[in-house]
Structure 1
């Protein structure tokens, strides 16, 4: 089992297609098919089952995906550790949507200009899935709001190194037509527009609204801050976002804004993952 074969297998699994995997890898389809077949023969296990025009992982393939993620991540970490004179190679970064938009453009541009041999990959998501991806070696590090939902009681037990980098002030957006809110009991909406479960900001807003309403709010799950604010402006619900995102808006809608307090953003990574690339990223983040 070699690393190239694992990389090809992982790409086919991600794309669900030999054709798309070959395009992404810059290889001939026949080469990709042959390498997957050789891997299956060496393992004595079928890794893919054809369903219609696509490929689906078999139970054995599902197991191998996790090992492939860890082995490929460890190999990249080893390459960087051996050549530790300067940041190079690949660094897979996870970040919340708001962090990517409001906090990362300048640091990542500075990082790329200073270390052109460093290949940066950025993936956005909610805090809890990002933490899970770091633990599963699908990401090298992530910028997350702390603590992520469901991990409040497990913070000390998590195999994660954590470094505070930002502090965000959270805002609850209310329709302009909503009566003034002087205290939580003045809230007259029972629906919150927010990202899917796993978002720390959503949990903070849900907790505040539950205290105000005496019951858990309904949640309208949306995929972007623009959509969240559009629903709030329509008078349907409240919404939650960090103040830094509001400051990015060229013409913020005429809404009411309630202060929900501060929430720290931490850079998390696996203990022992202390590569020059990670050190360079942290230095770039601290410059702002």
Structure 2
């Protein structure tokens, strides 16, 4: 097993085919095929499942991908440390949809200006999915809901989000969950920690949402609430930038549930120069009085 084989393996995963990977790393496809077969032979496992001229990762391949990315990142970091060059390469970040829309655009723009040799790759999704991708090595770091709990992860708190219950404009002010007991709820998928937070708010007041409708975006959630179809929860920072926010009412959750801290997290063993530079630009969280 050598570095070139790892680069080939990762390129095939990233591009989805041997031919595309060959073009990316300037090799002929037959060379990649031979080198990957040699890599599999040296490991004693199949990294890909081959079906009708298509490749998909085997279970062993998924595990090996995490290690491959980390090894290649460490090699790149070592080269940069020795040569003294400024950060370069790709920094793959994940973020909650609200964080990507409101909190980090200015930070990403400043990072691009300060480190033009680093290519930023941003993916959005719920916290559970982002943490999984940080752990498997496909993301360098991610903005997720705190607090930090996984032993393999390091991180820093970066933003405090004020959580609001969003209701139809016809509904009276809401101060507790009992007032919206059994009303339909609009939320993201079940791996969204914001959703878990909202359901816990209901449970703490011995109430429960009615039917939960899973949506894919904040605009669709807001549209349903504005139509009088149910209630939702979202950060104040996100609500304030959305068209249509004037068509709903919004009230802060009770004090124990009002704030959620967003963290930037990464693997302890996968720090890179690009990531270190990025973390140095993070502001400390500031909670309004």
TM range (shorter): 0.7 to 0.9
1:181 aligns with 2:174: yes
Q: What are the equivalent positions in structure 2 for 1:99-114 lying under 5 Å apart?
A: 99-114=99-114
Deviation digits for residues 202-239 of structure 1 (CA, Å, limit 9, x no counterpart): 12111112334634654322221112212222333322
Aligned to 1:247: 240
Aligned to 1:167: 160
Distance 1:275 1:12 in 2: 23
Name which of 231, 241, 262 aligns with 1:265.
262
Distance 1:66 1:230 in 2: 39
Name the SS for the 1:285 alignment partner. coil
Name the SS for the 1:68 alignment partner. helix
Q: Unaligned stretches of 5+ in structure 1?
A: 149-154
Q: Residue 185 of structure 1: CA displacement?
A: 1.6
Aligned to 1:43: 43
Q: Residue 183 of structure 1: CA displacement?
A: 3.2
Contact 1:189/1:238, CA 8 A, preserved across alignment: no
Q: Residue 274 of structure 1: CA displacement?
A: 5.2
Name which of 259, 282, 285 aligns with 1:285.
282
Q: Residue 109 of structure 1: CA displacement?
A: 0.9
Q: Residue 20 of structure 1: CA displacement?
A: 4.5
1:5 aligns with 2:8: no
The list of structure 1 runs, each at least 4 consecutive aligned residues, that deviate by more than 6 angstroms after superposition, is none
Q: Unaligned stretches of 5+ in structure 2?
A: none
Against the structure 1 CA distance between its residues 165 and 66, is the aligned structure 2 distance closer, same or farther, given a 3 Å change threshold? closer
Distance 1:68 1:111 in 2: 26
Against the structure 1 CA distance between its residues 93 and 80, is the aligned structure 2 distance closer, same or farther, given a 3 Å change threshold? farther
CA RMSD of aligned residues (A): 2.9
Q: Count residues in correspondence.
A: 281
Deviation digits for residues 84-140 of structure 1 (CA, Å, limit 9, x no counterpart): 553333322221111111111111111111111222222222222222322333222
